[in-house]
Structure formats: C-alpha cells, structure tokens
Amino acid sequence: MNFELNEEYSMIQEAARDFAQQDLKPGVIERDEKALFPYDQVKKMGELGFMGMMVDSKYGGAGLDALAYTLVLEEIAKIDASAAVIMSVNNSLVCYGLEAFGTEEQKEKYLRPLASGEKLGAFALSEPEAGSDATSQHTTAIDQGDHYLLNGTKNWITNGGNADICLIIAQTHPEKAHRGINVLIVEKGMPGFTIGPKENKLGIRSSDTHSLLFTDVKVPKENRIGEDGFGFKFAMKTLDGGRIGIAAQALGIAAGAYEFALAYAKERKTFGKPIAEHQAIQFKLADMEVEIEAARLLTYKAAWTKDQGLPYSKEAAMAKLHASEVAMKTSIEAVQIHGGYGYVKEYHVERLMRDAKITQIYEGTSEIQRLVIAREILK
C-alpha cells in the first residue's frame, strides 16, 4: 500500500494549486461579497481540462481518474469553494451521468462540449417538497409519443442560471413509484423552461443557485437517458460519485482554513512570542491536522475504490460525512485562532467557515450519509 503520489498526480496537484493561487485567489473576496459568478475562472478551468477530468479523451475530456479529480478539487476549494462546486457538479453529476449511461448520440451532442468546458451543466433532483428524496418527485414528464411534456419546479440547483444543459429527474409513471422516474436532458432556451431568481446564500456565494421552472416543456424522446424508468437508479448511482466530489470540496475548505490559521499563528505575536508557541494554539493546530488527514485518507480511499471499479457507496458516504464535519469544525477553529481578525473578510477564514456549512447539507445531509452507511454495513 503506497501513500505517496506518483509524479503524474503530483504534477496535476501542483497545476491545480498554481491555478488556485494565481487565478482564483485574486478577487475571491469581492466575488463572494457581491455574489459574482467566476466566468473567467470557469473558462480557464475548462482550458486546463478541469471541467471534464474523468471523461474519456475521445469525448474531449482529460481522461483522468477519480483520484486526480479529488486532488484538483481539494486545491481549488482551499481558495474558492464556489469554483470547486461549479466544477464538481459539471464533473461528478453531469459528465459522469452522460458518459456512464448516455447514448453515443447524446455523448457527442452534449458530453463533448461539457467536458471541454465550452458549455456548463446542472443536475436537477431537489424540489420544494423533495430535497434528497429521489422517490418523491412532483415534477412530471408525461409521455406524448415522440416527446415528453415536462412540468414542475426544481429547487437549489447549482449552476442553474448559467447552465446550458440540465439533467432533470421527473416522474413519468406515478403508479410505478420510483420505477416510473426518468432523467431527461433539457437545454437552456427550450420553450417553457424559465429560471427563477438567484438565491442569496450564506456561503459559496459566487456559485449561482436557482430554481428551475418547467411549463409544458417539450423534451424529445431521444433526450431521455437510459430505458424508461431508469431515472431513480441514475440518480442514486450519480449521487455516489457526487459525494466524493463534495468530500473533496469539504477537505479543501478544511485544509485551506488550516493553512491560513497556521500561517497566521506563526506571524501573530502575543506576550512577546508567536501565538503558535502557546500550548493552547498548538493543541488546536494538532487536532486540526489529525482530523484533516483522516478526512483526506477517507476521501482518497473513496476515489481509489471507484477507480478500481469496486462498489463505493459506503466509502463515498463515509468520506462525505467525515470531511464535511471536519470542514465545519476546522473553519470555526481557524476563525478562533485569528481572533478578531478572523471575523473580517480580508483574512479569508470567515468565508471558508460560511462555505463549510453547505458541505453538510448538499448531496444529502449528514443524517442521510449515516443512513447510507448503515444500509451498506447491514447488508
């Protein structure tokens, strides 16, 4: 068992770190404060191959694995969790779903521009009355022969305002319950498809989150992914990979908060010496390092398990559960170490603390992760 990154992984990690420091860090505070979408930075992520990292090169992707993807997400989230979640949704939920289950025609038409970063994707499962419960879909896709008639509302959709391509989970056969759900590819601009106001959020403020509204949207039959009734299985399989992405984002937030706190503790002096030399601060730093390393090992293991072609539902849920809790705890401690300076925006840690909270909520709350883990260990 080798815990050292090889040369290729190290180079990928370094490229992501350089991008985060040079392209994301300047302006990150302003983007957060004004809730500005990082258009230029997302375009650069596409040019670097970060928007379709695990997609086969024959479809315009980088052809890398889940571990490489995790390494990049971690580095980006250290600086800008908003950019990280934009990248994560496009990779883990949209590109993965299309490549794994789409037809060749769908891959050529939709996956290729998504993987190259030319276009942006969104994944729409949550509804006003159904958050992570994929079985309770009120959005309907009624079979009209050569097309589906789509009606309903989706809530909390990351990339919702800027996405060109959306994967929509909808109920076609209510009498079949979860076996009657489908997933449809819906393009921005289709008649009847409107985008609700942008949400004013606590954290990840420069990623855009919207409601999506559908009124008699005609979606061609060829835009259905998989067989009729495959939508529930599609959502479950896709969310497993999405949890690895959120674990990596949470890990990056935690590691970023720790790095800011460590640097500050070495510089800030009280009673004639750096606060890092005070035992109380050393205890905090030591606990942060231990928790982050545990989260990193869980996250890397989940990615490695996926790369081996092994079942990874439990590993993904464990990584997401632990990393998100570490992100919250570590960012709070980072603010505490900074004292009053931690409460102002220019020191970054208050933003990371706000960003951390969502990692405990999306892709399923911490309680849902525990249910997934329990289901797997009780099999």
| Positions marked catalytic | 363
Burial of 335 (C-beta count, 10 Å sphere; 0-12/13-18/19+): buried
- Element of type H or E holding 297: helix 279-307
Helices and strands in the chain, H and E counts: 13, 9
HSE on the CB side for 208, CA within 13 Å? 20
66-79 and 231-267 helices, crossing angle to 10°: 50
Q: Dihedral sign, CA of 197, 133, 188, 16?
A: positive
Cα(11)–Cα(168) distance, rounded to whole angstroms?
A: 36
Task: Collect all residues with Cβ–Cβ distance below 8 Å to 323 and sequence separation of at least 6.
Answer: 246, 247, 248, 250, 251, 254, 295, 298, 299, 359
- The CA distance from 252 to 254, in Å, is 5
Q: What is the dihedral of CA 182, 317, 313, 175, to 10 degrees?
A: -30
As a three-state string, the secondary structure of 46-111 is HHCCHHHCCCCHHHCCCCCCHHHHHHHHHHHHHHCHHHHHHHHHHHHHHHHHHHHHCCHHHHHHHH
Residue type at 112? R
The span from the CA of 138 to the CA of 130, in Å, is 8
For residue 289, the cross-strand partners are none
Residue 233, by phi and psi: left (phi above 0), alpha (psi -120 to 50) or beta? alpha
- CA–chain centroid gap for 224, Å, is 24
Work out the number of other CB atoms within 10 angstroms of the CB of residue 129.
11
